[in-house]
Amino acid sequence: MTIPRARYQDFVIKDGQLVGDFEGLYKTFDDPWYQSQTGHQRDTRRQIAINWMHRLRADNGVHRVLELGCGFGHLTDKLRQDGFSAVGADISKTAIDKAQEINPSSVFIHASIADFDVLAAFSPDVFLMAEITWYILDDLDSFLSRCREYASSRQRPTYLIHLLTTYAPGVQKYGREKFTNLDEILRYFKLSTIESGYIKTPRGDDPDSQGTYFIAKV
């Protein structure tokens, strides 16, 4: 009998249900989401995020950025190299250990978005969420509420940069009650959007998938 090969996706969402075993994921797979590949790191929307960080710094003096769900920390480290005070956070201790090993000059912490006080201690000007929102839906409302409280308590503006792939109605099985496309995402977050857009990212099982992004003031 052939034993089916494990898929890294099954450690996060399977059969329309959240699994959320991120520690098991990073212990089992060397490179989930192929995030160490150059093509992943040069993904168009990540370049948009980096570009917006530079624009926000030039126009508004933004300097401190916190990447949530940083994985191996490649984006966090790129921002550090560009002169930002960047911190990466991830719920997986194994991911954080690997990120620190790969990027020894950057700062990483083991924390989830539910640990908001820990995250806020770094006084970020920007919260950066790159392809993690499907995995944090249960904590998303609380996180956004805490973000608004945090932003209102500061003397300087706070921003959110958000990247998320969406899927065709017949393909998406999880999170449909919250949002399924960019317009619904923007309505859900209810922030002051500065720019938003999407890039067509057709896949074998979903020719209509889209890579969405938005930059907003909290």
Q: Return mean pLDDT, the chain.
A: 94
CB contact at 8 A, 71 and 100 = no
Residue 25 lies in a domain: no
Q: What is the mean pLDDT of residues 208-212?
A: 92
Q: Residue 135 belongs to a domain with what CATH number?
A: 3.40.50.150
pLDDT 10s digits, 94-145: 999 999 999 999 999 999 999 999 999 999 999 999 999 999 999 999 999 9
With tokens 């954080």, the residue in question is 96
Residue 13 lies in a domain: no
Coil, strand, or helix at residue 185? helix
Residue 54 lies in a domain: yes
From residue 147, how far is each of 42, 64, 197 by CA, in Å?
A: 28, 15, 22
Domain residues for the domain of 206 are: 41-217
Residue 22 lies in a domain: no
From residue 136, how far is each of 104, 140, 207 by CA, in Å?
A: 27, 6, 25
* Percent of the chain surpassing pLDDT 70: 97
Asked whether residue 204 carries a pLDDT value surpassing 90, the answer given is no
Contacts of 94 (CB under 8 A, 6+ apart): 23, 26, 27
Residue 3 lies in a domain: no
Residue 6 lies in a domain: no
Residue 10 lies in a domain: no
Range among 33-37, 41-45, 62-66 with highest mean pLDDT value: 62-66
The domain tally of the chain equals: 1
Q: For residues 110 and 59, give the distance between their C-alpha atoms in angstroms, rounded to a whole number.
A: 31
Reported as half-sphere exposure (CB side, CA atoms, 13 A), residue 193 has a value of 14
Residue 35 lies in a domain: no
